[in-house]
Amino acid sequence: MGSAVESDALPVDADRADAAGAGSSFGAGPRAPDTEDDTALESEVSGGESGAGVPRPAVAPPRAVHDRLGGVLDSLGDAETVVEIGRAAAAAQRVSELPLDAAQRAELDTARSELAVRLRRRIAWLAERAAQARVVEERADWRALAAVDAPGLAAVVRDEFAARGWRLPVAAGPDLDPVDVGVPLQRGAVVRCRNGSIDSAGFAEGRVVAVRGDRVTVKIDDSEGLRFPSVDLLDCEPISVDGTSAAAWARHAHRRGAVGLALAWAVAANSRADRPLEGSAREELWRELAGR
């Protein structure tokens, strides 16, 4: 297998933000305005262009606060995935720092409580998908779950992990000296891979032709024709997998620095109906991924 460390990302040309990296949408730290609404509100609150000698009112205009709160409440109402829930929580945190009246703050608090409920529901759904060995399609959500640190949501994640016996993998690095772990993927095995192909998520099914290093060549014959794409192993998942092989996929993802996928495959390894990991094997996997 190759030795390149790869972040837990969507396809290679997509966002490669690491779960622990700066710029996570799940924290409440300062950031530059990234929407027209944010820019307009900050301009209105500051009284126009900022600069030396320009006074800044201590209180934002009520209309600006009302409009911004309304926009955030709409985004909270639409949030379903972990990614969306995290972004909504970060937006809610920013709005909570505005001069809201009692009724507005109560409305915001209610919406934030609903986000916590939705996060619990999404975690349960992700666990069900992992039990079916469907993890790569939800890769962004697993990565986001490993990065949640927004007030109110981090406690939900801790509680859910504790209740389910999960542990958060640490990012693999030189200090961990990760083992060069292979995956049990044989020629002829049926896999589902991200290929920008026929279904809405860009996945197609095919048979393995060859595995070389961290890449797999897949024979796909569907309505789009016969082709042999070479894809990253992190963008593949076997159709048939038991607990032991899912654990190998978890270790491979961990070695590559893909924390979210390592978590997802570990959950799969512990919840597969056909021979899940049990006892000492289960504990050993979690200890290894958690770096202790």
Three-state DSSP at 194 gives strand
For the chain, give the longest Cα–Cα distance: 72
Q: What is the pLDDT of residues 19-44, one digit of tens each?
A: 333 334 454 443 433 444 444 444 43
Q: Is residue 108 within 8 Å of residue 69, measured between CB atoms?
A: yes
Q: Report how far apart, in Å, the C-alpha atoms of 229 and of each of 38, 174, 198, 207, 246 are.
A: 43, 31, 14, 11, 23
Least confident of 140-144, 148-152, 233-237, 286-290: 148-152
Domain spans in the chain, listed from the N-terminal domain onward = 36-50+59-164, 174-290
Quote the CA–CA distance of 262 and 275 in Å, as a whole number.
Answer: 19
Q: What is the pLDDT of residues 117-140, one digit of tens each?
A: 999 999 999 999 999 989 998 999
Could you tell me if residue 275 is left (phi over 0), alpha (psi between -120 and 50 degrees) or otherwise beta?
left
Would you say residue 284 has pLDDT above 60?
Answer: yes
| Number of Cβ within a 10 Å radius of residue 94 | 16
Class in CATH terms, 174-290:
mainly beta
Say what the pLDDT of residue 162 is: 94
Least confident of 71-75, 80-84, 152-156: 71-75
| Amino acid identity, position 65 | V
pLDDT band for position 84 (50/70/90)?
very high
Place of tokens 């981090």: 154
| Number of Cβ within a 10 Å radius of residue 260 | 26
Say what the pLDDT of residue 152 is: 83
Would you say residue 174 has pLDDT above 60?
Answer: no
Quote the CA–CA distance of 216 and 228 in Å, as a whole number.
Answer: 10
Q: Is residue 208 within 8 Å of residue 233, measured between CB atoms?
A: no
Q: Is residue 263 within 8 Å of residue 166, measured between CB atoms?
A: yes
Q: Is residue 268 within 8 Å of residue 130, measured between CB atoms?
A: yes
| Amino acid identity, position 228 | F
CA-based nearest residue to 270, from 278, 262, 261: 278
